[in-house]
């Protein structure tokens, strides 16, 4: 079958299913089915029957709103590639901005100590280790399935990865950390219906839901960061776009923090809060 016709039909199916980026997903799935880079699809004129069947199955699963990254087994985050699949939160492009902030802050310190609370796939920790070679990076993940993926992704990166609760781990680092960074769960329980199918039905619940107002985990991160950071060091935490005031308020209300400010993503939506430990 002609590649162009095959992709055009896939785009139509994905668009009808409500997939947000049908053209991109259709091409990425075909490249995956053929075992080539997406950039090489232009060199393919015809697709044989076996590959057509494999592609059709992949498109069907994507049309059922299974995450693209679960189908390809890969996700890309800043300069690094990650192994992902069922049982681990798929990193979002918006989080790259938080990681960039952490990388920038770590770069201001000689041999910085960076802690990633709730690392999931290991995306932020791996990005920091990749872009700040002198950093001593530590990461923790509570969910055993996600921890498995983090182990694969952080192998050989020099990251100290631990299995445990972000609220109780790294007592040995208390008062010595330069940057704490976290993309915790932050979706209110009542917001279930508003969450994209890909996340709601396939991302682990532990990575999504965080109490009635979505701030429970952020409150824990604030407390833990206050213990871990040295005076004058910084914390950055991602939040929902509806939490542009409430998430910074978690930090401002304690009296422990200076320079509390919120940051917007590339779409202009509130995305993460940063603060400096005052005491």
How many distinct helices (H) and strands (E) make up the chain?
10, 9
Determine if residue 16 is labeled as part of a ligand binding site: no
Determine if residue 87 is labeled as part of a ligand binding site: no
Determine if residue 39 is labeled as part of a ligand binding site: no
Determine if residue 169 is labeled as part of a ligand binding site: no
Determine if residue 176 is labeled as part of a ligand binding site: no
| C-alpha distance from residue 18 to each of 28, 58, 115, 197, 198 (Å) | 17, 16, 37, 10, 11
Determine if residue 60 is labeled as part of a ligand binding site: no
Determine how many CB atoms are found less than 10 A away from the CB of residue 133: 7
CB–CB of 1/40 below 8 Å? Answer: no
How far is residue 124's CA from residue 120's CA, in Å, rounded to a whole number?
Answer: 9
Determine if residue 214 is labeled as part of a ligand binding site: no
Determine if residue 188 is labeled as part of a ligand binding site: no
Determine if residue 186 is labeled as part of a ligand binding site: yes
Q: Are strands 270-277 and 257-264 parallel, antiparallel or unpaired?
A: antiparallel
Determine if residue 141 is labeled as part of a ligand binding site: yes
Which residue ranges make up the annotated binding site?
118-122, 141, 183-186
Which residue ranges make up the annotated binding site for S-adenosyl-L-methionine?
118-122, 141, 183
Which residue ranges make up the annotated binding site for substrate?
183-186
């Amino acid at each position: 079958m002609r590649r162009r016709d095959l992709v055009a039909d896939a785009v139509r199916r994905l668009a009808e299913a409500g997939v947000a980026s049908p053209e991109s997903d259709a091409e990425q799935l075909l490249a995956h089915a053929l075992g080539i880079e997406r950039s090489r699809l232009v060199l393919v004129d015809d697709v044989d029957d076996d590959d057509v069947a494999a592609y059709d199955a992949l498109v069907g699963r994507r049309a059922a709103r299974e995450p693209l990254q679960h189908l390809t087994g890969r996700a890309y985050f800043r300069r690094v590639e990650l192994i992902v699949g069922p049982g681990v939160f798929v990193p979002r492009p918006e989080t790259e901005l938080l990681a960039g902030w952490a990388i920038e802050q770590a770069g201001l310190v000689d041999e910085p100590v960076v802690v990633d609370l709730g690392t999931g796939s290991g995306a932020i920790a791996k990005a920091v280790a990749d872009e700040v070679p002198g950093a001593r990076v530590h990461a923790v993940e509570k969910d055993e399935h996600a921890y498995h993926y983090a182990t694969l992704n952080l192998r050989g990166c020099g990251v100290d990865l631990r299995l445990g609760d972000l609220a109780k781990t790294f007592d040995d680092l208390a008062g010595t950390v330069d940057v704490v960074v976290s993309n915790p769960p932050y979706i209110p329980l009542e917001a279930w219906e508003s969450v994209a199918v890909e996340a709601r039905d396939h991302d682990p619940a532990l990575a999504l839901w965080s109490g009635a107002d979505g701030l429970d985990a952020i409150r824990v991160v604030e407390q833990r960061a206050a213990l871990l950071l040295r005076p004058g060091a910084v914390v950055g935490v991602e939040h929902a776009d509806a939490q542009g005031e409430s998430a910074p308020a978690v930090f401002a209300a304690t009296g422990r923090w200076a320079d509390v400010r919120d940051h917007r993503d590339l779409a202009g939506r509130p995305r993460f809060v940063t603060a400096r430990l005052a005491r």
